A and B are shown apart, each in its own frame.
Chain A
Amino acid sequence: MTLDSIFIAPFVDYGFMRRALVACLALALGSAPIGVLLMLRRMSLMGDAMSHAILPGAAVGFLIAGGLSLPAMGLGGLVAGLSIAILSGVISRTTALREDASFASFYLTSLALGVLIVSLRGSNIDLLHVLFGTILAIDARALYLVGGIASLTIVILAVVYRPLVAECFDPGFLRAVGGRGSLYHFLFLLLVVLNLVAGFEALGTLMAVGLMMLPAAVARLWAQSLPAMFATAALTAALSGYLGLVASFHFALASGPTIILTASCIYGVSLLLSPSGLLRRLYPRRHFKA
């Protein structure tokens, strides 16, 4: 067993592995920065809620297309996710409910509705596909969708970087100087939904958030500045995707969960080794003179 046969051969020999890898890398580039921003807004769990919110839309797409059709389900998921983002945004601005509370009520409704719709027609196997993804069955069209979403995410992030970060950092100030914060907040939520749709194509609704939030947590442990966090998160996500695929190939494990667990391992190692990690706490270095 050579290194080549472990790390490279699976991708050379099998088209589905190549496509899965490309999907993972695209996902890493788009989702990871979004995850970092979600984390900094203290909306880490919002991504999770949102991923459930996507389900009924995907399920309706599933019904209309008469089976597992990634474009139909993706479109359905997009519509459902956006509606919930807008609805909860409107409700948190017009009632005493905070955004997380209105999100929670919406996603629970949404999840129940989604499971109900899927169970109307498909077998349980199909439901598993929706929940846990189909990365090894990803086709060229789905790949274009994932790649397109990643590209769009990076372009939009680059264009609205300053107002978005300002809105994240000090929303009150942006409001006071008249910089339409809620517009950028909405644009950001749009990107969250888009990336979750992309992630759900590859990893399923439950796992899509994993590749978004785990790399973000890793980045927080290692990097100090925002650009460095983006880079660390994207790198972590890409590495998790690659190593996860390799592991799932050789040990015949389900690919989605393996990818996420790889990210979890990197997170665990970071908890130990990062500058604020356990190891430095147990063996602190001597302090500086000033």
Chain B
Amino acid sequence: MGGLATMMLSSIKLEDVTVAYARHPAVHHVTGAFSKGSMTAIAGPNGAGKSTLLKAIMGELPLAGGAIDRGGLSARDFGYLPQAAEIDRQFPMSVADTVMLGAWHRSGAFQRIDRQAVARAQNALTAVGLEGFGARNIGSLSAGQFQRVLFARLLLQDAKVIILDEPFTAIDARTTRDLLDIVRRWHSDGRTIIAVLHDFDQVRAYFPETLLMAREAIEWGPTTVAMSSRNLLRARAMAESWDESADVCEEETAAA
């Protein structure tokens, strides 16, 4: 039972989580768990609160209700690839330096970067198919190549939980396939993967579990069940309802 205990320990449990912007919930009473080593897609229409939920999981947003149990995981155990990174691609930075940022937990702000770290960064670049690109400026890369660089940085981060927010938007098919293979490898390493995806075919092909949400969780479980056409229809219908003058939600007090 020891195995079970550690598994429970490092899974991420959501307990009735609500996140609101100006009191309007973007994520509404979501309960469930990402167990350790699971690979979960988060799907749903635009404005369904998917990115918001990711940020809440990492503790970047305050909760309006409920609780998130990260099972002893600290901020440094999360590797996060935001939807549109706040990166100025014209910044005079080399590919190698960008990847090297992934070693932040080891190098920190002031420690020296040794040969091993440099070698690790080079391996990461090779793994994403960008061997020999190290000295180039990131400004000279295409969008797909740059996304590969960000994946290389994630590789170097060596995080226990990897959180991807629409990682394949505006990325060509081949790059998407290559990067999905990396995600799969992370999964087989035993890392927990949580990814927001828009392409339902990708979700069905690669992700064993799915959280389908439209502010509320519509279904959270095996992908085949969650992505049934009935659930998808419900998701679409729920996303379209937005009430500016909504009443105060009483669900919590009712549940208590």
Contact surface of A with B, Cβ cutoff 8 Å:
40, 42, 159-160, 162-163, 165-166, 168-179, 184, 223-226, 229
- Distance in angstroms from B196 CB to nearest chain A CB is 16
| Residues of A contacting B255 in the complex (Cβ-Cβ under 8 angstroms) | none
A169 contacts B109, CB within 8 Å? no
| Bound: A79/B110 CA distance, A | 29
Interface size class of B (residues with CB under 8 A): 20 to 34
Given A176-B78, A178-B75: A42 in contact with B88 (beta carbons within 8 A): yes
A176 contacts B80, CB within 8 Å? yes
| Residues of B contacting A179 in the complex (Cβ-Cβ under 8 angstroms) | 104, 108-109
| Bound: A3/B110 CA distance, A | 48
| Bound: A270/B92 CA distance, A | 18
Residue of B87, B105, B108 near A170 (CB, 8 A) is B87
| Bound: A168/B87 CA distance, A | 9
Going nearest first, the 3 A-B pairs with the smallest beta carbon separation are A163-B109, A177-B104, A172-B86
Q: Mark B50-91, 1 if CB is under 8 A from A, else 0.
A: 000000001010000000000000011010101001111001
| Bound: A223/B82 CA distance, A | 30
Looking at A160, A168, A172, A223, which has the most chain B CB atoms within 10 Å of its CB? A172
| Residues of A contacting B76 in the complex (Cβ-Cβ under 8 angstroms) | 177-178
Interface residues of B in 90-132 (CB under 8 A from A): 91-94, 98, 101, 104-105, 107-110
| Residues of A contacting B107 in the complex (Cβ-Cβ under 8 angstroms) | 162
| Bound: A162/B113 CA distance, A | 11
| Residues of A contacting B101 in the complex (Cβ-Cβ under 8 angstroms) | 166, 169-170, 173
B58 contacts A176, CB within 8 Å? yes
| Residues of A contacting B137 in the complex (Cβ-Cβ under 8 angstroms) | 224-225
| Residues of B contacting A223 in the complex (Cβ-Cβ under 8 angstroms) | 92
A to B contact number (C-beta, < 8 Å) = 59
Q: Mark B158-194, 1 if CB is under 8 A from A, else 0.
A: 0000000000000000000000000000000000000
| Residues of A contacting B109 in the complex (Cβ-Cβ under 8 angstroms) | 160, 162-163, 166, 179, 184
B91 contacts A169, CB within 8 Å? yes
A225 contacts B75, CB within 8 Å? no
B75 contacts A176, CB within 8 Å? yes
| Bound: A85/B152 CA distance, A | 36
Interface residues of B in 126-165 (CB under 8 A from A): 137, 153, 157
Given A160-B109, A177-B104, A179-B108: A169 in contact with B75 (beta carbons within 8 A): no
| Bound: A40/B87 CA distance, A | 11
23 contacts between A and B (CB under 8 A): A40-B88, A40-B92, A159-B110, A160-B109, A162-B110, A166-B104, A169-B98, A170-B86, A170-B87, A171-B86, A173-B85, A174-B104, A176-B58, A177-B75, A177-B76, A177-B157, A178-B76, A179-B108, A184-B109, A224-B92, A224-B137, A226-B93, A229-B92
| Bound: A176/B108 CA distance, A | 13
| Bound: A163/B109 CA distance, A | 5
- Of chain A, the residue at the smallest CB distance from B137 is A224
- Distance in angstroms from A253 CB to nearest chain B CB is 35
- Of chain A, the residue at the smallest CB distance from B108 is A179
| Bound: A174/B87 CA distance, A | 12
| Bound: A159/B109 CA distance, A | 9
- List 18 extra interface pairs beyond A159-B110, A166-B109, CB under 8 A: A40-B88, A40-B91, A160-B109, A162-B109, A165-B93, A169-B87, A169-B98, A170-B85, A170-B86, A170-B87, A171-B86, A172-B85, A174-B104, A177-B75, A178-B76, A224-B92, A225-B137, A226-B92
- Distance in angstroms from A224 CB to nearest chain B CB is 6
| Bound: A73/B101 CA distance, A | 41
B82 contacts A168, CB within 8 Å? no
A172 contacts B104, CB within 8 Å? no
- Of chain B, the residue at the smallest CB distance from A160 is B109
| Bound: A226/B87 CA distance, A | 16
| Residues of A contacting B104 in the complex (Cβ-Cβ under 8 angstroms) | 166, 174, 177, 179
- Of chain B, the residue at the smallest CB distance from A177 is B104
| Residues of A contacting B80 in the complex (Cβ-Cβ under 8 angstroms) | 176
| Bound: A216/B214 CA distance, A | 47
A168 contacts B91, CB within 8 Å? yes
| Bound: A169/B153 CA distance, A | 14
| Bound: A226/B91 CA distance, A | 9
| Residues of A contacting B86 in the complex (Cβ-Cβ under 8 angstroms) | 170-172
| Bound: A226/B137 CA distance, A | 10
- Distance in angstroms from A145 CB to nearest chain B CB is 29
| Residues of B contacting A172 in the complex (Cβ-Cβ under 8 angstroms) | 82, 85-86
| Residues of B contacting A184 in the complex (Cβ-Cβ under 8 angstroms) | 109
| Bound: A184/B110 CA distance, A | 13
| Bound: A127/B107 CA distance, A | 50
- Distance in angstroms from A240 CB to nearest chain B CB is 22
- Distance in angstroms from B143 CB to nearest chain A CB is 16
- Distance in angstroms from B192 CB to nearest chain A CB is 16
Given A177-B105, A179-B108, A179-B109: A169 in contact with B88 (beta carbons within 8 A): yes
- Of chain B, the residue at the smallest CB distance from A165 is B93
